[in-house]
Structure 1
Amino acid sequence: MKEQYRSGFVALIGRPNVGKSTLMNHVIGQKIAIMSDKPQTTRNKIQGIYTTSEGQVIFLDTPGIHKPHSKLGEYLVQTAHNAFKEVDLILFLVDAAEGLGAGDRFIMENLRNVNTPVFLVVNKIDQVHPDQLLPIIDQYRQKFDFAEVIPISALQGNNTSTLLQLILNRLPEGPQYYPADQVTDHPERFIASEIIREKVLELTREEIPHSVAVIVEEMKMRENGNTLFIRAEIFTERKSQKGILIGKQGGLLKEVGKLARQELENLFGSKVFLDLWVKVKKDWRNEDFLLKQFGYHDQEDYS
């Protein structure tokens, strides 16, 4: 082990849509977590790995903390809460453009019982006038004793290098947990399913996104050696939603497949044959056995 090499686990927490996935993707240098303008896009703890000669940071991008309205919602919130006790450092992301809200107060109340140091990361500073920034920060400082306060723009990359250095300085001495060129611990099937789900979120209306789950049932290189075959099933809760997802003469599903295939080909560096099917699993978000089937179950500690 190199002298003073630092490593550890860092949770990204915050209200839905504050830019957690955007920040992690920027830091890692490629897409690990899917991004959407719809809340609760992140459902699983996405593990992203940032490695330098100084140390290694393993990020857990948790679901946005919100008031749950289904068993899936309860699972998402519990996943985020579990991250508090699993990590060496917590990054609490807030939206500078929105300012202090009830959701932020709720999160800070939950953090009061946590011994882990907390950084306040004020995101989207590109959307506010510089004169507004200090008063916004003061609002949060009056409510909680943060170890550091760092204003950034995850989308534009402003001040993210400073944030990374402060994170490394705070982590304990430790080993390199993962190879230097590894950027996530998720299997390729999971990443493929998330990319497909992202395209569904982009193309569907409000009543569809949260009722969708994607499972990659088959993923293999064809005998010609240059085409990756992926068969995935898109599950929704009602027949009416299935019709919307397929679209007139299959148009919407074809567009989902087109966009997903383009991104998957860039990711895997080969041609992709994508075979998509839409199926109905009634009220799956409130059925424990279906939640487990779709991968939303208690996860082992990472620390």
Structure 2
Amino acid sequence: MEPSSFSCGHVAFVGAPNAGKSTLLNRLLDHKLSIVTPKPQTTRKKITGIYHDSGSQIVILDTPGIMEPKQSLHESMLEITRRSLRECDLIVGLIPMQKGEEPFDRAFATELLDLWIRPSGKPFIIALNKADLVPESTVSDAKNEIMETFRPIAVTAVSALDGRNIDELVDLIRPLLPLDEPLWPDDILSTEPERFFVGEIIREKIFLMYGREIPYSTEVVIDEFKEQHENDPRRKELIRCSVIVERNSQKQIIVGAGGAALKKLGQAARKEIEELLDRPVYLEIFVKIRPDWRKKKNLLKSYGY
């Protein structure tokens, strides 16, 4: 019997906040699965995306960015990343290229490799993301430096934004995966339930619509998710959710004058939720105050951290 040419396994994407992990996941899947905003620390929980092609199934674990923890929420996010490193078969470390004298953040790259990737004992690849920002000669020099300094199995330079070398990354991952048959049907893009992505869409809109500390001090909890009027062919999905904030002043900003900001948030979120679910939605958003929720481990656990 000839060995199977198919490969499958779990791959963890790790890196700093805003390294482009979520954008890369979305590019690989050709589908917006992870929310993406210009602000760092948008991703708070592990998101599992499943890439399929004729020769492989790559179960991708998109992890929160690695940063210095300043509160219990950050510690919980880092534990999610540690758990993902334990669960995976292969690690892809994302290091973003940058303009200026230093082609990438060497100090963080050393921390990422020495404190996170190498201690896991897992095989790893380095992907230099945002390669579209710098000249090709800079990319080539950076790849050589990474290979000589950190000795990964391979180094590639990609652009999650424009799709550069994405196929090359898949070609590097495929032979390193351990299984010879898929774990999931080929029409499954993620193992997360619909209600998870509904909450993420609302959270993304908060990141995009509000400034300063507001996005970081909010959490979204789906309280109710059900169909109503089952005998009505025009029935809408009923979704009730709570936006959690820490202070009354934050609640006032989320709601806005006369409720205008909250209404705008609901309209933007509902439009994308309906596209996701492919059915009409009745969305209710309430704003609740939970003082210092980011520091309280019992609340964090109840919110899924």
What is the deviation of 1:232? 0.8
Amino acid of the structure 1 residue aligned with 2:71: S
Q: Which range is displaced more, 133-142 or 64-73?
A: 133-142
Contact (CA 8 Å) 1:21, 1:61: kept in 2 or not?
A: yes
Q: CA RMSD in A?
A: 1.4
Alpha-carbon displacement from aligned partner over 1:37-90 (angstroms, at most 9, x marks no partner): 111111111000112221211000010001000011011112112222211110
- For 1:153 and 1:175, the matched residues in 2 are separated by 29
- For 1:264 and 1:247, the matched residues in 2 are separated by 22
Alignment partner, residue 80 of structure 2 = 79
What is the deviation of 1:250? 1.3
- For 1:209 and 1:101, the matched residues in 2 are separated by 29
1:150 equivalent to 2:156? Answer yes
1:108 equivalent to 2:117? Answer no
Aligned pairs, number: 295
Alpha-carbon displacement from aligned partner over 1:221-280 (angstroms, at most 9, x marks no partner): 222244222111100111111111111211211111111111111111111211111111
Alignment partner, residue 200 of structure 2 = 194
Contact (CA 8 Å) 1:66, 1:103: kept in 2 or not?
A: no
Amino acid of the structure 2 residue aligned with 1:30: H
Amino acid of the structure 1 residue aligned with 2:87: E
Identity %, equivalent residues: 37
Alignment partner, residue 17 of structure 2 = 16
Alignment partner, residue 120 of structure 1 = 126
- For 1:206 and 1:34, the matched residues in 2 are separated by 19
Distance 1:4-1:135 versus aligned 2 partners, 3 A rule: closer
TM-score for both structures, normalised by structure 2: 0.93
Alignment partner, residue 218 of structure 2 = 212
What is the deviation of 1:151? 0.6
Gaps of 5+ in 1: 297-303
Distance 1:150-1:83 versus aligned 2 partners, 3 A rule: same
Name the SS of the counterpart of 1:109 in structure 2.
helix
Alignment partner, residue 294 of structure 2 = 285
Amino acid of the structure 2 residue aligned with 1:200: I
Amino acid of the structure 2 residue aligned with 1:58: V
1:159 equivalent to 2:165? Answer yes
**Within 5 A, what are the aligned runs for 1:248-267?**
248-267=257-276
Name the SS of the counterpart of 1:112 in structure 2.
helix
Q: Which one of the candidate residues 170, 187, 198 is aligned to 1:181?
A: 187
TM-score for both structures, normalised by structure 1: 0.93
Q: Which one of the candidate residues 264, 269, 275 is aligned to 2:278?
A: 269
Contact (CA 8 Å) 2:14, 2:63: kept in 1 or not?
A: yes
Contact (CA 8 Å) 1:35, 1:198: kept in 2 or not?
A: yes
Q: Which range is displaced more, 77-86 or 26-35?
A: 77-86
Alpha-carbon displacement from aligned partner over 1:76-108 (angstroms, at most 9, x marks no partner): 112112222211110000111261243222111
Alignment partner, residue 174 of structure 2 = 168
Gaps of 5+ in 2: none
**Within 5 A, what are the aligned runs for 1:36-51?**
36-51=37-52
- For 1:19 and 1:225, the matched residues in 2 are separated by 41
Q: Which one of the candidate residues 226, 243, 246 is aligned to 1:234?
A: 243
- For 2:149 and 2:249, the matched residues in 1 are separated by 46
What is the deviation of 1:164? 1.1
Contact (CA 8 Å) 2:49, 2:60: kept in 1 or not?
A: yes
Name the SS of the counterpart of 1:197 in structure 2.
helix
Amino acid of the structure 1 residue aligned with 2:60: F
- For 1:71 and 1:225, the matched residues in 2 are separated by 46
Amino acid of the structure 1 residue aligned with 2:282: F
Contact (CA 8 Å) 1:89, 1:171: kept in 2 or not?
A: yes
Distance 1:3-1:137 versus aligned 2 partners, 3 A rule: closer
- For 2:106 and 2:217, the matched residues in 1 are separated by 27
Name the SS of the counterpart of 1:178 in structure 2.
coil
